[in-house]
Amino acid sequence: MKIGVFDSGIGGQAVARRIGDLLPDAEIISINDHEHVPYGLRSAQEVIELTTAAIQPLLEAQCDAIVIACNTATTLAIRHLRYTYPAINFVGIEPMVKPAAALTKTQHIAVLATPGTLASPRYQELKDTWAKGIAIDEPDCSSWAQLIESGQADTLPIEEIILPLLDSGVDVIVLACTHYHWIKDRIASLVGTRAAILEPSDAISNRIQTIIGNTL
C-alpha cells in the first residue's frame, strides 16, 4: 500500500508519522507546500489552485490513497480534487465537530482552526448538522500555524487561548489544524483532566483501510 500525505506545511509530518505507526507496512510519501504556507489566510480559489498543484507528485507516484492532511485544504478543495481526479481515493481531514458534540457533557466545545476553515461552507455544514444546541467557541488562532511552521511551537503562548476556554466551561477541544498537532502535548499538560482533546490521526488510518481495504 502506498499512501501520499499532503499538507500546506509541517503539520502533515505528524499525521504521516502516526499513519506509519498504525500502518507499518505501508509506504508513506509526505509532501508539503512550505513556500505558500499558511493556507488558512488565503482565498478559497487560491487554496484550490495551490492544493491541486502541490499534489501532482503524489498523483505521479500512483498512490493508493492521498491524505489531504490540512483542514483548510480539505474544507475548501477536496470536492474539486475528487471531481477532477475521480479515480483517486482522497482522504480529507475535517474539524471533528460530530465526535466533539457527542462527547461533551457541558454542551460547550472549542474548535481551534484557521480563518479559512472557520469561514468554509463545509465547517458551517458540520455545525448545522451535528452541533445544534452546542455552544462552540472559535478563538483567534490565526497566527499559530505560521509560528509553528517557523519553529516556535515550544514558545507559543497557548495559555492565553486555552485557559479562558476552560474557565468558560469548555470540556472538549478540537484541534482543527494539523499544525496544532505539534503542540498537542503542551495543550494536554495545560488542560489536564478538565477537557478532552480531539485530533483525527487515528480516524484517518481507519478511513484509509475502509476505502482501499486492509491489505497489510
pLDDT tens digits, 86-104: 999 999 999 999 999 999 9
Query: Are both 154 and 167 inside the same structural domain?
Result: yes
* 141 is annotated as an active-site residue: no
Question: How many CB atoms lie under 10 A from the CB of residue 191?
Answer: 19
Same domain, 105 and 194: yes
Residues 112, 161 within the same domain:
yes
Residue 81: its pLDDT value, please?
97
Residues 142, 208, single domain; the answer is: no
Q: What is the dihedral of CA 184, 163, 136, 169, to 10 degrees?
A: 120
70 annotated active-site: yes
Helix axes 44-54, 71-84, angle to 10 degrees: 70
Question: Can you give the residue range of the structural domain that contains 152?
Answer: 97-198
Which pLDDT score is estimated for 215? 44
Looking at the fold, whether 107 and 73 belong to one and the same domain comes out as no
Q: What average pLDDT does this structure show over 52-80?
A: 95
Q: Are residues 110 and 88 in the same domain?
A: no
CATH of the domain at 182: 3.40.50.1860
CA distance 192 to 121: 33
Catalytic pick among 66, 68, 70, 136? 70
Both 125 and 103 in a single domain? yes
Beta bridge partners of 2: 27
**Mean pLDDT, rounded, for 36-51:** 93
Q: Which of 5, 76, 110, 177 is catalytic?
A: 177
Q: Specify the number of domains making up the chain.
A: 2
- Residue 86 sits in the same domain as residue 105: no
Which of the four pLDDT bands, split at 50, 70 and 90, describes residue 212?
Answer: low
Say which residue the cell 507559543 belongs to: 156
Same domain, 105 and 170: yes
pLDDT surpassing 50 at residue 154: yes
Residues 43 and 128 in one domain: no
Contact 197, 175 (CB under 8 A): yes
Residues 163-202: tens digit of each pLDDT: 999 999 999 999 999 889 889 999 999 999 999 999 887 7
